[in-house]
Structure 1
Amino acid sequence: ILVNTDSIKINPRSDPENPELITHTSVFILKILTLADWGQNPHYFKQFTASFDLPIYNYFDYMDAWKNTFLFQNNEDRHSWFFCFDKTFKKQNIPFWFMDWWCFYGPIEEILPPPIIEAYNTFTKHSESLTLCPTTLSFFIHCKLSWIMYWDYIIEESPQTIPSLHRQFWTKWWNKYDLSKCTSETILRSLKSKSHQDQQFTLPKSKI
């Protein structure tokens, strides 16, 4: 569903010594469809462009696809996901349900290296906060940053209770990222450029 709606590009990678074992998958986020983007009643169905046993899906299926797709795990419990907002990802309204996705699959501030923390603080200070949108999400979208997510099952045991099985999620920084692309200086320049572009858009629109 996410590929069919052009919401993501996905690229699975296999173990060279075991081609049938997918060890990590790259996911480039292109867009997140809001209900307005969907363009019809959320219960109404759209057709897949490829042939599937169930050839239709609706907006609720689309939301579930974001929630469930990245729960894939290989039989050796060592699969990881590489996430990145694609360079083509445009400024948009983020649907509220995506915040829940971000809480599970998105990075946390603690994984950021010191130079990125400095850039993050600059971004926080000089940009407007969006209602109900985590600043880390706005920052990663603005800078098109990458992160790695992986999960595993854990058994939680407490006194006088039955042990329970849970999924635990972890995120980490992608160490191959070129830190020179995201500094306080580049943040300030990009925010200034963005502000200028917004003004250029607003002026002609105000004359209509």
Structure 2
Amino acid sequence: YPDWHYYNNHAQKTPTFYEFILVDTDSIKINPKSDPKNPGLITHTSVFIQKILTLSKWGQNPHYYKQFTASFDLPIYNYFDYMDTWKNTFLFQNIEDRHSWFFCFDKTFKKQTIPYWFIDRCFFYGPNKEILPPPIIEAFNTFTKHSESLALCPTMLSFFIHCKLLWTMYWDYVIEETPQTIPSLYRQFCTKWWNKYDLSKCTSETILISLK
């Protein structure tokens, strides 16, 4: 399907369908921004993660359907759709291939058991130690030493949840060519630290105070 960047055999499971699932379940707050010179071109989108529903929080068989609270072309979705939405939603790309995502765990996000399937999806666009500036690495090491780990949650993700840190993600297609083989087309994800962050808000000292 045009403008879709994921495989799907259901014509009504559009990018908007997946985004609406996250909004309708209060899992995220989303705020797209357009180019001032071209209002129809979305250049970046901010996402504040409010919660990630586990199957127990879902409250019913994963195959059973729920209805959207507002009218929509495809009015129902199940837990498997909810799982897919955490990847497919963030595969949006504009026509100029220069869209960026800004991610942050919302201040309302509460520590919880993170579903393993989310860790698998977050691997592509989640934060990693390589993007951290030196002062934040020091704070991360302090956090690792003095905090209790969350079940199935990588320490890095737990750190970003605790400190409400923001990171950015951009993706694009890459063609890999090697001699005597068919060229390969794949997605390349690039995550970065948000350089406008006030580093004084996340230090070893502030970490120790927040963990008391």
Cα-Cα RMSD: 0.8
Q: For 1:111 and 1:38, how far apart are their aligned partners in 2?
A: 33
Of the candidates 120, 130, 151, which is equivalent to residue 140 of structure 2? 120
Q: For 2:78 and 2:139, how far apart are their aligned partners in 1?
A: 39
Q: For 1:21 and 1:137, how far apart are their aligned partners in 2?
A: 31
Give the drift of 1:130.
3.3
Q: Percent of aligned pairs with the same residue?
A: 85
Q: For 1:107 and 1:91, how far apart are their aligned partners in 2?
A: 17
Counterpart residue identity of residue 95, structure 2:
N
| Alignment length (residue pairs) | 192
Q: For 1:86 and 1:133, how far apart are their aligned partners in 2?
A: 17
Q: For 1:174 and 1:190, how far apart are their aligned partners in 2?
A: 22
- Specify the alignment match of 1:199 in structure 2: none
Q: Deviations over 1:32-91 (max 9, x none)?
A: 000010001011111001111110000000000111000000000000000000011011
- Specify the alignment match of 2:83 in structure 1: 63
Q: Secondary structure at the match of 1:52?
A: coil
- Specify the alignment match of 2:98 in structure 1: 78
Equivalent residue runs for 1:39-188 within 5 Å: 39-188=59-208
Q: Deviations over 1:72-113 (max 9, x none)?
A: 000000000000000110111100101112210101111101
Q: For 1:47 and 1:119, how far apart are their aligned partners in 2?
A: 43
- Specify the alignment match of 1:36 in structure 2: 56
**2:136 touches 2:199 (CA, 8 Å); kept in 1?**
yes
**Which structure has the larger Rg over C-alpha atoms?**
1
Give the drift of 1:131.
4.2
Counterpart residue identity of residue 189, structure 1:
I
Unaligned runs of 5+ in 2: 1-20
State TM-score, norm by structure 1.
0.90
Q: For 1:24 and 1:105, how far apart are their aligned partners in 2?
A: 15
Q: For 2:51 and 2:153, how far apart are their aligned partners in 1?
A: 16
Give the drift of 1:145.
0.5
- Specify the alignment match of 1:24 in structure 2: 44
**2:114 touches 2:151 (CA, 8 Å); kept in 1?**
no
Structure 1 residue ranges, 4+ long, deviating more than 6 angstroms after superposition: none
Q: For 2:24 and 2:211, how far apart are their aligned partners in 1?
A: 33
Q: For 2:81 and 2:110, how far apart are their aligned partners in 1?
A: 23
Q: For 1:62 and 1:72, how far apart are their aligned partners in 2?
A: 17
Give the drift of 1:160.
1.4
Q: For 1:101 and 1:134, how far apart are their aligned partners in 2?
A: 13
Q: For 2:60 and 2:109, how far apart are their aligned partners in 1?
A: 23
State TM-score, norm by structure 2.
0.89
Is residue 2:23 matched to residue 1:10? no
- Specify the alignment match of 1:200 in structure 2: none
